[in-house]
Structure 1
Amino acid sequence: MKKSLSLVLALILSLSLVLAACSPAAEAPSNTPTPSPTPTVSTTPEPTPAADAVSFTDSAGRTVDVPADISRIAPSGPLAQMVLFALAPEKFVCISTAWSEETEQYIDTAYYNLPVLGQIYGSGSGELNMEALAAADPQLIIDVGEPKKTVVEDMDAITDQTSIPAVHIDAATATMGETYRTLGKLLGLEARAEELASYCDEVYAKTLALMDKVGDNKVSLLYCTGDKGLSVIAQGSYHAEVLDLMGDNLAVVDDPSSKGTGNEVDLEQILLWNPDVVLFAPGSIYTTVKNDPAWQELSAIQTHRYYQVPFGPYNWLGFPPSVNRYMGMLWLGTLLYPDDVDYDLYTEAARYYKLFYHTDLTYAQYSALIDDSIGQ
């Protein structure tokens, strides 16, 4: 009996040892970090918008996601169109305003068949064609110029309506160099932008130096617009920047207009101002004023010191008030202070037209441009 019990106990002990050997061993504690899981590649592609877009903070303080590589742009209006055409005409998929017939001799006709979209601001405000904009398929809408009070809301609204990012870049005569540098970074055209920026800085500095020399002896003037010549570009308005800088602009009114057509006045007021020089906008009454007895009472008309602002492909003094005004500064310097300038106007005009319109200005073209700007 004892032998049988011993045999049973021996069998039980053997079986326990066998089972213990077959059971998984307990893990010993370790201070070694657990390895990271091996990366796996998903067969389903994940969207990566960050790789295709970058954040850009515009002049209105808005942070906007824009394409990292921008090849298709839309200008928001004629001022932006002019600024951007100098920098990146090859990126245009549309234009804001149609080119005039006079423009064809200066602008490559390859840009004539682009769709015309209208503009956000200005005399054609509210005419932006959303359907045409969508069809043109720009990657970015660029607004350039004086910031409106509602610029943030306006840019956001355009973006919301079109799903196309829109940005605003401030621009003024004194700061156009920085405008181009900002645009150069945005569009990946830093070298080209710096060439244009340096030109703007140079011409503006040259103009300031000229006016320092002139001192308090500024020529008094008026800039008259309209088919009767009875609107003026008022002192202190955005459109009068160059006039106020280079002359004694006598057009002081209570509420300067923000429009390029200026403020309406009557001839009696113009006679009271009686400036030394009168500038007439293209298409105004320059060609007929000498035969008008009422206008003959002005000393500027009597002394033949009245001029028509050169035009082609744009007005040299504005309308729109864009980079064309640098050519206007050079012209006014020659016109008002010929003894104080040290440059040749044709040489400067040829340089400007090459930089901003990508064309070689001939002397015949130049002569036609200034034909009515040297007086009667």
Structure 2
Amino acid sequence: MKAKKLSALLLAVVMIFSLAACGSKTPKTDSNATRIFTDSTGREVEVPAQINKVALSGPLAQIVLFALCPDKLVGVSNAWSSEAQEFLDEKYFNMPQIGQLYGGKGELNLETLLQSGAQVVIDVGESKGSIKEDMDSLQQQIGIPFVHISADMQSYPQAYRMLGDLLGMKTEAEALATYCEKIYSRTETIASGVEKANVLYVTGDMGQNVIAKGAYHAEILDMLTNNLAQVDEPSSKGTGNEVSMEQILTWNPDVVIFAPESIYATVKDDAAWQSVTAIKNGAYYEVPFGPYNWMGFPPSVQRYLGMVWLSKLLYPDATADYDLFADVQEYYKLFYHCDITRAQYDVLVANSIGK
């Protein structure tokens, strides 16, 4: 978060908090008992011993915590997409929208946050350079504990166990952590035993943005493929790096993965793309979407779906002994609290598995 943005946010907090204090008292928690919780930055944060109401800092935290504690959430950071509705209970789909701290589609709605009765605000994901200062400043001004939990594809099990400790949900958190460990370990084994495919992951309505090697959004891609998109400064944004068609032709991938809402549906009729080996051979696919892009955007825990899908797509011989549908069913049950049907699954992967 940039300094000017944080300063403006804190000023707004002070004004809203002052007004709120005049008209109402701070909501009481179920108990006055507190304890010290050490977050991923090493900050020792005083939190309620029993936490029943949780606010989120952004969409990454939303995906992670919806899996663990949907009934403790006071709202969502961003509204669910229309595609999510069929997978979610109505009470979750219509939750209040609070916004988010870092960039994205909407600023944090401080009034909604203050009125929600939230006992803690949880931030999950990549640790930005200013994270300690951001958490401390917001906590001091708002009067609600702020906690940061670092997480990437390898450390989600640890993140869930920390969250289970914080929220008094160790059993539920362990089920999620165990799933993440199982999928990550299996994916590592697959990746170490195959000749990696030459792949580009393409985004954008013109198909000329790529998820570059080394980017935070490229964790799965770099793990499972020879990611051809090597650029000087990999973008930290989910939209990736813009490149020319000439560069794509030079890379000439054997497989192209198109993000949802890119040019998958029209690329076979595009003269420029017809010169790319992957397109000529029909080796191009669209990332499944629902409720989120399985490969990221936001780059949260749903990327374990990307792991199981991409492994099965690229390396059928190495994955012959596992059932993609069964893995997806298990994920949707654990993380979305949804019993996905075979018909729903078939729609999700219609453009994603073979031709």
Tell me if TM exceeds 0.5. Answer: yes
Q: Is the contact made by 1:123 and 1:259 (CA closer than 8 Å) also made in structure 2? A: no
Match of 1:318 in 2: 296
2:185 and 2:313 map into 1 onto residues whose CA distance is: 18
Q: CA deviation at 1:374?
A: 2.1
Matches within 5 A, 1:66-81: 66-81=47-62
Match of 2:328 in 1: 349
Match of 2:240 in 1: 262
Matches within 5 A, 1:1-376: 52-124=33-105, 127-214=107-194, 217-341=195-319, 342-376=321-355
Q: Structure 1 pair 122/242, CA: closer, same or farther in 2 (3 Å)? A: farther
Q: CA deviation at 1:157?
A: 2.1
Q: Is the contact made by 1:220 and 1:247 (CA closer than 8 Å) also made in structure 2? A: yes
Q: Which 4+ runs in 1 deviate beyond 2 A?
A: 122-125
Paired letter, 2:68: L
Q: CA deviation at 1:153?
A: 1.2
Q: Is the contact made by 2:122 and 2:147 (CA closer than 8 Å) also made in structure 1? A: yes
Q: Is the contact made by 1:86 and 1:356 (CA closer than 8 Å) also made in structure 2? A: yes
Paired letter, 2:111: E
Q: Structure 1 pair 148/305, CA: closer, same or farther in 2 (3 Å)? A: same
1:244 and 1:323 map into 2 onto residues whose CA distance is: 17
Q: CA deviation at 1:158?
A: 1.8
CA deviations over 1:112-165 (Å, ceiling 9, x no partner): 22211111124337x111111112221100000010011011111221232111
Match of 1:30 in 2: none
Match of 1:10 in 2: none
Percent identity over paired residues: 56
1:195 and 1:250 map into 2 onto residues whose CA distance is: 36
Structure 1 gap segments, 5+ residues each = 1-49
Q: Is the contact made by 1:219 and 1:248 (CA closer than 8 Å) also made in structure 2? A: yes
Paired letter, 2:42: G
Q: CA deviation at 1:51?
A: 5.3
Q: Is the contact made by 1:122 and 1:259 (CA closer than 8 Å) also made in structure 2? A: no
1:311 and 1:162 map into 2 onto residues whose CA distance is: 36
Normalising to structure 2: TM-score of the pair? 0.89
1:344 and 1:293 map into 2 onto residues whose CA distance is: 37
Q: CA deviation at 1:375?
A: 4.2
Q: Is the contact made by 1:96 and 1:116 (CA closer than 8 Å) also made in structure 2? A: yes
Larger relative contact order, structure 1 or 2 (CA cutoff 8 Å, min sep 6): 2
Q: Is the contact made by 2:32 and 2:48 (CA closer than 8 Å) also made in structure 1? A: no
Normalising to structure 1: TM-score of the pair? 0.85
1:134 and 1:112 map into 2 onto residues whose CA distance is: 21
Paired letter, 2:326: T
1:188 and 1:122 map into 2 onto residues whose CA distance is: 30
Structure 2 gap segments, 5+ residues each = 1-30
